[in-house]
Amino acid sequence: MIEVQSLTFRYEVSERDALRDVNLTVPDGAFLGIIGPAGAGKTTLLHCMSGIIPHAFPGDFYGAVRVGGLDTADNRLTDLSRLVGTVFQDVDSQIISSVVEDEILYGLENFGVPHEEIGDRLTAALEQVGISSLRERTIASLSGGQRQKVAIASLVALRPQILVLDEPTGELDPFSSRQIFTLLRTLNREHGMTVVVVEQKIMLLSEFADRLAVLNDGEIVKEGPVRGVLSDIPLLERIGVNCPRAALFSSLLAEKTGTEVPVCVSAEEAVEAARRVMG
């Protein structure tokens, strides 16, 4: 479980708070999506959840963040990272090794995974992310999207209780993006991993996440089940978040026909809703 209590954070070099009085609870086994316009504090919030803030970024930190019962301010980043796996937004700065296989081995070796188990975990992680064929390749020879997959695989191999990802599909094509989200859902449902994702592709996110949190200007302006959040279209439009077209469609359909239409998160659902309303 992640508990964020009255969290306010200001970077040392900044004049204004990056996060202001944020309260948020992510229960075990949840799949939370975080959305919001650029500069809303999404990455900062993720860094607070993984303990990178306050350990690696200096600044004023008020309130408390507890991850699996551990206060992030009182525990070493190394101990926190046994619980939380982090995929950074800038994949190039996350990758440490020169060869794919070594990148995935790195965390496994460091966290003391028994050596007889490492081989299987390595192969499994590569397969799950769909990059078995890249095992021997050098990082320099990979495309941005492939590197992103390597970064994700290196965390998946560690099987942390909580996985936080900052725009994990930023450089991926639609097919691979869906593949990654499907993987995240499998990890979430079948392995009970708690997943927190910051993502710009809201349509995709809405389809896979259970809950959404909307950040704007350092504050959480809405948080709840996906459909509940997406039903507040005026709010999303006001802060400049791109609302999924399926949700827009269902709200328009309700407005024009005067009937009750549930919020849709995928094209299939929208088609289904239209069929029902039109008879």
Partner 1 sequence: MTDLFQYVPGNSPLHRMNPVTKIALTLSVCVAAFLTDNLFVLLALILFDLMIGVAAGAFRKALAIFRGLFKVSLFLFVLQALFVRRGNRLLWIVTDEGLSTAAGVVLRLLAVCLPLALVLTVTRVSDIAGALVQVLHVPYAYAFTLTTAIRFIPQFMEEMSGIMEAQTARGVEFDTKNIFKKLGLILPLCVPLLISSIRRTGATATAAEVRGFNLRTRASGYKKYGFGLVDLAAVLISAALITGAALIP
Q: CB of residue 160 vs partner 1: minimum separation in angstroms?
A: 10
The answer to the question of residue 52 lying near partner 1 (CB under 8 A) is yes
Closer CB to partner 1, residue 83 or residue 241? 83
Q: Which stretch binds partner 1 (CB under 8 A): 12-20, 72-80, 210-218, 228-236?
A: 72-80
**Phi, psi torsion values for 127, nearest 5 degrees:** -65, -45
Q: Is the separation of the CB atoms in 168 and 152 below 8 Å?
A: yes
In the complex, the smallest distance separating the C-beta of residue 37 from partner 1, rounded to whole angstroms, is 23
Is residue 110 part of the contact set for partner 1 (CB under 8 A)?
yes
Q: Are 65 and 48 in contact (CB under 8 A)?
A: yes
Please give the Cα distance from 213 to 227 (Å, whole number): 12
Told to check if 11 binds partner 1 by CB under 8 A, we report no
| Other Cβ atoms closer than 10 A to 143 | 10
Asked if 85 and 162 count as a contact pair (C-beta separation under 8 A), the reply is yes
CB of 251 to partner 1, least distance (A): 40
Beta bridge pairs of residue 195: 31, 163
CA-to-CA dists, residue 266 to 15, 81, 226, 263, angstroms: 41, 34, 12, 10
Q: What's the Cα-to-Cα distance from 207 to each of 227, 263, 266, rounded to whole Å? A: 10, 12, 7
- If one asks whether residue 78 binds partner 1 (CB under 8 A), the answer comes out as yes
Q: Which span (100-108, 125-133, 170-178, 210-218) binds partner 1, by CB under 8 A?
A: 100-108
CB of 86 to partner 1, least distance (A): 5
If binding is defined by CB under 8 A, does position 74 make contact with partner 1?
A: no
Least distance from C-beta 120 to partner 1, angstroms? Answer: 12
- Could you tell me how many residues of this chain bind partner 1 (CB under 8 A)? 40
Written as six digits, the tokens of 234 are: 């005026």
Tell me the closest approach of the beta carbon of residue 79 to partner 1, in angstroms.
10
Strand partners, 213: 34, 223
Residue 108 binds partner 1, judged by CB under 8 A:
yes
Identify the CA nearest to 24 among candidates 34, 36, 39, 10. Answer: 34
Please identify which residue in 38, 69, 74, 115 interacts with partner 1, judged by CB under 8 A: 115
| Among positions 136, 175, 190, 278, the unique one binding partner 1 when judged by CB under 8 A | 136
List of residues contacting partner 1 (CB under 8 A): 50-52, 56, 76-78, 81-82, 85-86, 88, 90, 92-99, 102, 105-112, 115, 118-119, 136, 138-141, 154, 158
